[in-house]
Amino acid sequence: MLSSDLQTKSLELTHLDRLEAESIHIMREVMADAAKPVMLYSVGKDSAVMLHLARKAFYPSPPPFPLLHVDTTWKFQAMYELRDRMAAESGMDLIVYQNPEAKERGINPFDHGPLHTDMWKTEGLKQALDLHGFDVAFGGARRDEEKSRAKERIFSFRTATHGWDPKKQRPELWNLYNARKAKGESIRVFPISNWTELDIWQYIARENIPIVPLYFAAPRPTVERDGLLLMVDDDRFPLLPGETPVERSVRFRTLGCYPLTGAVESEASTLSEVIQEMLLTTTSERQGRIIDKDGGDASMEKKKQEGYF
Amino acid sequence: MTDPIYVTDALIAEDIDAYLEQHQQKSLLRFITCGSVDDGKSTLIGRLLYDSKMIFEDQLAALEADSKRVGTQGQEIDFALLVDGLAAEREQGITIDVAYRFFTTEKRKFIVADTPGHEQYTRNMVTGASTADLAVILIDARKGVLTQTRRHSFLAHLIGIKHIVLAVNKMDLVGYDKTVFDRIALAYRAFASEIGITNFTAIPISGFKGDNITALSDNTPWFKGPALIEHLETVEIGSTADEAKPFRLPVQWVNRPNLDFRGFSGQLASGKVKPGDAVRILPSGKMTTVDRIVTLDGDLDEAVAGQSVTLTLADEVDCSRGDVISAADAPPEAADQFEATLVWMADEAMIAGRAYWLKLATQSVSATIQQPKYEINVNTLDHLAAKTLELNGIGVVELSTDKPIVFETYGDNRTLGGFILIDKLTNATVAAGMLHFSLRRAQNVHWQATDIDRDMRASLKNQRPALLWFTGLSGSGKSTIANLVEKKLHRMNRHSFLLDGDNVRHGLNRDLGFTEADRIENIRRVGEVAKLMSDAGLIVITAFISPFRVEREMVRSMLPEGEFIEVFIDTPLAEAEKRDVKGLYKKARAGQLKNFTGIDSPYEAPENPEIRIDTTAMTPEEAADLIIDRLLG
């Protein structure tokens, strides 16, 4: 771990201090106009940082909104464990939503391809927001992740049908956010828009934020398929003829549904080593994600217009 | 190119903890790049990302493939493709929005706002500039100082950016000629001093080739530095200047977890604060002292500008969102009339006299804007007469708010001097503004308290004052029914006054025409007169088309709750046109009358009128009886 003198703050605000202050400001600003806010919690490292910032923003009160996990039933077991623990620790309500139609039809990443993401995540999210009548949803997206996100506002408007129109975005000046909306419209708010992957890791280190152990390397059963290293997280994983899980020392740079998330071979088992590996690596973090690639170049932008986070 | 600035891999590999410690002490610089696609702006940003190793192999592979497919640099890497994000933009080959990019060096983390340079994207540039500490103004070495250079420099200066970098780009295309660079820098200096930019740093670069970006280039031995990155890493940023100013904390949220704790959460706009400091709550002016500075990490001994904290106060004083906790010995002022510069950002032009929401720090109020004193031509900087501001228009206006706001001039404090205007119907952000100063009349014209109040006047007349506001199309029957209502009231010994649209235009409002702005002013004045009359205890009846919902709501907000009674005379357009009592519809259809409601100007019907009269279902007599029933019943 990092040496203890790293934890003491210098008098001048560092870039992490400034990012933290900005995110807290954004979260508090939401409370001025929101009728029923919710925080989308995906259990990944960005969600972990966002949740930590929310606890700071409203301390000593607990964050004045629930956590929403749009579940696909295909997340890693370790994610479910941390999710339940963090909800209990933060004193916030946890709402878990699973699209009943996807459940009934047994939609899964092995047999249904892109339909899996569409039904569990995109449709599931819309259904959950509509069901509870949430008018503002915090999300942990960062602008450095993907090109269309680089241009998205911190307060991002969605029509009554959850659509996003990149041409109709409101100008955002200074730290003034216009959170007014018509009935039926909702806002996605991204308080960590200006954080980079490195900032996230450094902040996790500085603040000792709990994250899913899958981010650290350990021997795990894996198979290699279509150029991705997939972890066999439970017995629902259908092995192809000739496939046998192989124990490899792997970790994950990003977490999603386990059959869709590629691992990297690694020996990095501490936070410092993970950051070290990240700084020395030559591929971007979303590279292990299948979701960005179907539909070609503007895939994420298209998904956002359809209502994906 | 090899560059000494980024040789950090060794430290990362050898001693990651040492590296992290070094990295954690970095400061943050936000800057904006100004220029058009032709100046190589996207290429420069792509280059900065590339050189600072912010581009990974998979992204690079995609970039190389894209460069060959749609790039403009032949077989070479087209860095511009890295930063032109949205699909539509890629097709058109231009950037149409603000994109934020991130990179980091040994000394600093950077956030770059990338905005388009053409005049039609002035609003985007202003948006990007609003959070920037520094502006990089790009010039094509082959073209020199152009109109757009002047525009970009003016806008950067307007928004208060203190550090200007003049990046003379494409030096490779002029043979790295020193005289070209010198001539451009000289020409720029002359212009810059004209608009008040006293200091700038000129750097000859090639974004495409990488000259003088990360390190001094051998191609320009005559240039002694600094290279662009070196300058960005070392320029002093204003955070310490903000700390030296008096303490201000706009309250965002009142933190009340239980009865024993009451804290005030917000981000320090300027100054510092310690427990025990004497503070004043604005606008009430109440004094108290700071008790604790509460954070999840424990109480702080001190908080400085830029930090988000929660304060508790020693006394139980009124304090809520929108209030500003400030240094007791140097409080900001509160006022309700101002001069300001506005940058118009909406497709719909500004409407003088219309009420907009104004958001400044954590305060939200209703504000009306006067016709601009002048508009500024962003290319020539000339002052022009103007009746309104269109998209991208910049002008100086006077504005008034419905209640006093705590403020400072924009030059002193961006947080308490910068504001946005929001359209009340569409909720769109329509303008950004910067306060110059409050107008004297707001400070010196006070409300004169009178001993006889409105209730006493009304009780003498034995009635409850009210404003019956008739609205409806021309020819709908407003005047006819309003007249009948007044006759009946008179017979019942009620004191009333009928304000008729046509009559008012012969006197009080004879200086007004029929443009949208004039029609709004017409309604505002009628509203003020009706308010005075209701204060006098009268039942006021008005008959105006008053087609816009916002204006009717404006009058409603002037009167005490429940006294404004909206009477919607609901006659279908076809029916009103058929009646055409004054022959106006015929004229309008023939094109002789412009802006005629229902024909070429909209009528926004009331959504929830107190009284709705369907004139196709009852006679004027019946209508009048119904209205009186509702009024007195």
Query: Model confidence over A272-281: pLDDT tens digits?
Result: 999 888 887 7
Q: What is the mean pLDDT of residues A44-56?
A: 96
CB contact under 8 A, B56 and A176: no
Report whether A261 contacts A226 (CB < 8 A). no
CB contact under 8 A, B26 and A178: no
pLDDT(B459) > 90: no
Nearest to A29 among B17, B252, B360 (CB): B252
Please give the structure tokens belonging to residue A32. 């001025």
pLDDT(A283) > 70: no
In a domain, B348, yes or no: yes
Q: Which residues, other chains included, contact B132 with Cβ-Cβ below 8 Å and sequence gap of 6+?
A: B30, B31, B32, B113, B156, B159, B161
| pLDDT per residue as tens digits for the range B127-144 | 889 999 999 999 999 999
Question: Which of B440, B473, B508 represents a domain boundary (last residue)?
Answer: B440
B196 and B254 in a single domain? The answer is no
Please give the structure tokens belonging to residue B115. 């905005």
Poorest-pLDDT segment among A94-103, B374-383, B618-627: B374-383
Distance from the A44 Cα atom to the nearest Cα atom in chain B, whole angstroms: 21
Q: Which residues in A lie closer than 8 A to residue B58 (C-beta atoms)?
A: 283-284, 287
CB contact under 8 A, B432 and A55: no
pLDDT(B446) > 50: no
pLDDT(B494) > 50: yes
Q: Note the pLDDT of residue A6.
A: 38
Q: Note the pLDDT of residue B166.
A: 95
Q: What is the mean pLDDT of residues B614-629?
A: 93
Measured CA to CA, the distance from residue B539 to residue B464 in angstroms comes to 8
B230 and B253 in a single domain? The answer is no
Q: Which residues in A lie closer than 8 A to residue B360 (C-beta atoms)?
A: 176
B339 and B289 in a single domain? The answer is no
| pLDDT per residue as tens digits for the range B180-222 | 999 999 999 988 988 888 889 999 999 888 899 988 999 999 9
Nearest to B99 among A151, A170, A173 (CB): A151
Distance from the B429 Cα atom to the nearest Cα atom in chain A, whole angstroms: 6
Q: Note the pLDDT of residue A117.
A: 85
pLDDT(A211) > 60: yes
- Residue type for position A101: E
B56 and B193 in a single domain? The answer is yes
Report whether A19 contacts A25 (CB < 8 A). no
Q: What is the mean pLDDT of residues B311-324?
A: 94
Q: Note the pLDDT of residue B458.
A: 87
Measured CA to CA, the distance from residue B246 to residue B278 in angstroms comes to 12
B343 and B469 in a single domain? The answer is no
Q: Which residues in A lie closer than 8 A to residue B312 (C-beta atoms)?
A: none
> Which residue of B12, B17, B24, B111 to mutate against A (max A Cβ within 10 Å)?
B24
Shortest CA distance from A273: residue in chain B:
B16
Measured CA to CA, the distance from residue A143 to residue A146 in angstroms comes to 7
Shortest CA distance from A208: residue in chain B:
B297
> Reading across the β-sheet that carries B539-543, which strands appear in turn?
B496-500, B539-543, B466-471, B564-570, B611-614
> Which residue of A4, A147, A289 to mutate against B (max B Cβ within 10 Å)?
A147
H/E element, B567:
strand B564-570
B600 is in which domain, residue-wise? 456-632
B140 and B47 in a single domain? The answer is yes
CB contact under 8 A, A151 and B87: no
Q: What is the mean pLDDT of residues B148-169?
A: 92
In a domain, B471, yes or no: yes
Q: Note the pLDDT of residue B70.
A: 62
Q: What is the mean pLDDT of residues B570-583?
A: 89
Which CATH number do you get for residue B625? Answer: 3.40.50.300
- Residue type for position B345: M
Give the residue among B204, B119, B110, B207 at the shortest CA–CA distance from B166: B204
User: Which residues in A23-173 belong to E strands, given as ranges?
Assistant: 37-40, 67-70, 94-97, 136-138, 155-158
Q: Note the pLDDT of residue B591.
A: 83
Report whether B101 contacts B83 (CB < 8 A). yes
Q: Note the pLDDT of residue A5.
A: 39
B239 in active site: no
Q: Note the pLDDT of residue B80.
A: 66
Q: Which residues in A lie closer than 8 A to residue B239 (C-beta atoms)?
A: 12-13
CB contact under 8 A, A150 and B100: yes
In a domain, B1, yes or no: no
CB contact under 8 A, B109 and A15: yes
CB contact under 8 A, B306 and A17: yes
Distance from the A182 Cα atom to the nearest Cα atom in chain B, whole angstroms: 7
B300 and B382 in a single domain? The answer is no
Distance from the B288 Cα atom to the nearest Cα atom in chain A, whole angstroms: 22
Poorest-pLDDT segment among B76-90, B388-402, B556-570: B76-90
CB contact under 8 A, A59 and B310: yes
In a domain, B533, yes or no: yes
In a domain, B449, yes or no: no
In a domain, B516, yes or no: yes
Question: Which of B234, B252, B283 represents a domain boundary (last residue)?
Answer: B234
Task: Give the best-scoring range by mean pLDDT among A36-40, A89-93, B41-45, B391-395.
Answer: A36-40
Which CATH number do you get for residue B249? Answer: 2.40.30.10
Shortest CA distance from A4: residue in chain B:
B21
Measured CA to CA, the distance from residue B601 to residue B607 in angstroms comes to 19
In a domain, B535, yes or no: yes
Q: What is the mean pLDDT of residues B583-609?
A: 87
A234 CB neighbour count, 10 Å cutoff: 10
Measured CA to CA, the distance from residue A147 to residue B66 in angstroms comes to 14
Mean per-residue pLDDT over chain B, rounded: 87
Q: Which residues, other chains included, contact B347 with Cβ-Cβ below 8 Å and sequence gap of 6+?
A: B391
pLDDT(B590) > 50: yes
Q: What percent of chain A has pLDDT over 70?
A: 86
Give the residue among B231, B221, B207 at the shortest CA–CA distance from B51: B207
- Residue type for position B480: T
CA distances from B601 to A239, B346, B546, B555 (A): 69, 20, 12, 21
B226 and B254 in a single domain? The answer is no
Measured CA to CA, the distance from residue B387 to residue B9 in angstroms comes to 60
Q: Which residues in A lie closer than 8 A to residue B46 (C-beta atoms)?
A: none
Measured CA to CA, the distance from residue B197 to residue A212 in angstroms comes to 52
pLDDT(B176) > 90: yes
Measured CA to CA, the distance from residue B204 to residue B214 in angstroms comes to 12
Nearest to B420 among A60, A178, A182 (CB): A178
Q: What is the mean pLDDT of residues A227-242?
A: 88
> pLDDT: is B556 or B71 the higher one?
B556
CB contact under 8 A, A28 and B428: no
Q: What percent of chain B has pLDDT over 70?
A: 90
- Catalytic, out of B474, B546, B557, B601: B546
In a domain, B386, yes or no: yes
B415 and B465 in a single domain? The answer is no
pTM exceeds 0.95: no
**What is the largest distance, in Å, between two alpha-carbon atoms of chain A?**
61
Q: Which residues, other chains included, contact B100 with Cβ-Cβ below 8 Å and sequence gap of 6+?
A: A143, A150, A151, A193, A194, B111, B112, B113, B114
Give this complex's ipTM.
0.87
B417 and B464 in a single domain? The answer is no
- Count: domains in chain B: 4
Residue with tokens 């964050």: A63
Q: What percent of chain B has pLDDT over 90?
A: 52
Question: Which of B185, B215, B234 represents a domain boundary (last residue)?
Answer: B234
Nearest to A18 among B12, B240, B306 (CB): B306
CB contact under 8 A, A287 and B422: no
B413 and B292 in a single domain? The answer is no
| pLDDT per residue as tens digits for the range B409-440 | 998 999 999 999 999 888 999 999 999 988 86
CA distances from B325 to A296, B110, B222 (A): 52, 31, 53
B25 and B154 in a single domain? The answer is yes
Q: Which residues in B lie closer than 8 A to residue A174 (C-beta atoms)?
A: 130-131, 414-415, 418
Q: What is the mean pLDDT of residues B104-116?
A: 85
Distance from the B69 Cα atom to the nearest Cα atom in chain A, whole angstroms: 12
